[in-house]
Structure 1
């Protein structure tokens, strides 16, 4: 069920914490992983560690995505690249930051889905796409208006893509993680005045690890999830069950 031998899987955001964990787990299960990021330099550590194939591209440019992906045969995709945005309320939000969050988190994932799904359809063997969303798309989180909007849009892309691509044997799902203490999140979620009240509302009472997000992603890519599509899966320690 978790044998990815002879399967090529594209992982965007592979130089990040969650993306790197996904690459490592996929490689351990035999996948041919294409690790994508903004530059060859940023990808060098994960490529050296795992043997994944590097693929730099600019998610904000359709030309860049098209050139990199239009002829790339893949059976799986993980849209993990992300931009954290800012901490601001709606009255103070920087629209340039909002635009960047949409460009990377929402539009970028759609561009990847657009071109990889074409090659999956042409190959006729089906496939699986997993979008890395956020609990911010499921519940209101103060200060996260731009990030939340971008991830809620991604969840909508997930549902529509599952509907449209299902007849081609392509499954599309999202995972919606709680906070993982990556460098991107630590500047805010690591503060005592933020961390304490937040975790007090979470049934499991702790932040997630990168590996705890990677495992459900790989499950959703695998044949073990062959009948799962169109799902937005919270990985949030029970936070959204409140």
Structure 2
């Protein structure tokens, strides 16, 4: 199945590394004009050296700065809200700062960026597609993930409300919910057998997700091949949530 984004302008947040960076590469290869957003200028610079992309550097935890940045981008046909932070600690050690930062980046930023993009979609009356990156942690309790689980559960439900309200404008909103993903950071964090073993034992396919697994799911939901799919949370977890 060939997916083609020729003629589409796509905004990807958290585009400097990991899933976001690989997604940008695949979108460009599929013909999209991509706007890559990250808070780290050096990562955007290295991405721009590889690909013909427009870059925007902003901390999406800053509501007003992000709003100004996204408003300056121009019309967007597809949006991937990928940026997130994972500030992990036990329940009794959750701090106000980590709580506020997590919800500012993982939840409020999705609302903020999407509001700006969606208003443009509605004005142009062309519809659009949004994919929000969630996690298996939205539906399964994980130790030391109190705040992270909370943010991703919020992402799932906010996305469903977006799908309900924006559907009449022909704007689809869906979530992708991965398990542990083997990004560079994922490989470092989950390389020890004593940590990886218990999680892998709960995944029927017996492995963690590769970046490409997640990127392929995003590409499909973003594309017109998924034209009748709206308001779903799609696990990319090897069956973790089925158990």
Q: Which category describes the TM-score, using the shorter chain as reference length?
A: over 0.9
1:79 paired to 2:81:
yes
DSSP-derived class of the 1:14 partner: coil
Corresponding residue number in structure 2 for 1:31: 32
Distance 1:58 1:198 in 2: 32
Matches within 5 A, 1:36-115: 36-70=37-71, 72-86=74-88, 88-115=89-116
DSSP-derived class of the 1:218 partner: helix
Contact kept, 8 Å, 2:16 with 2:40, in 1: the verdict is: no
Corresponding residue number in structure 2 for 1:153: 154
Contact kept, 8 Å, 1:84 with 1:184, in 2: the verdict is: no
Distance 2:148 2:51 in 1: 30
Contact kept, 8 Å, 2:48 with 2:54, in 1: the verdict is: yes
Distance 1:17 1:26 in 2: 14
Distance 2:206 2:179 in 1: 11
Deviates more, 1:57-66 or 1:23-32: 57-66
Corresponding residue number in structure 2 for 1:135: 136
Deviates more, 1:62-71 or 1:154-163: 62-71
Contact kept, 8 Å, 2:16 with 2:43, in 1: the verdict is: yes
State the 1:44 CA deviation.
Answer: 1.4
State the 1:185 CA deviation.
Answer: 3.6
DSSP-derived class of the 1:35 partner: strand
Distance 2:183 2:98 in 1: 20
CA deviation vs aligned residue, 1:64-113 (integer Å, no higher than 9, x gap): 12212225200000001010112x22112222112111110111111111
Contact kept, 8 Å, 1:173 with 1:220, in 2: the verdict is: yes
Contact kept, 8 Å, 1:181 with 1:190, in 2: the verdict is: no
Distance 2:96 2:185 in 1: 20
Distance 1:148 1:222 in 2: 28
Structure 1 residue ranges (4+ consecutive) displaced by more than 4 angstroms after TM superposition:
none
> TM (normalized to structure 1)?
0.95
> TM (normalized to structure 2)?
0.95
Cα RMSD, aligned residues only: 1.3
Matches within 5 A, 1:148-187: 148-187=149-188
CA deviation vs aligned residue, 1:144-178 (integer Å, no higher than 9, x gap): 11111111111111001001111111000000001
Distance 1:93 1:182 in 2: 26
Distance 2:68 2:60 in 1: 11
State the 1:198 CA deviation.
Answer: 0.9
**Unaligned ranges ≥5, structure 1:** none
Deviates more, 1:219-228 or 1:95-104: 95-104
Corresponding residue number in structure 1 for 2:12: 11
**Unaligned ranges ≥5, structure 2:** none
How many residues are aligned here?
241
DSSP-derived class of the 2:91 partner: coil
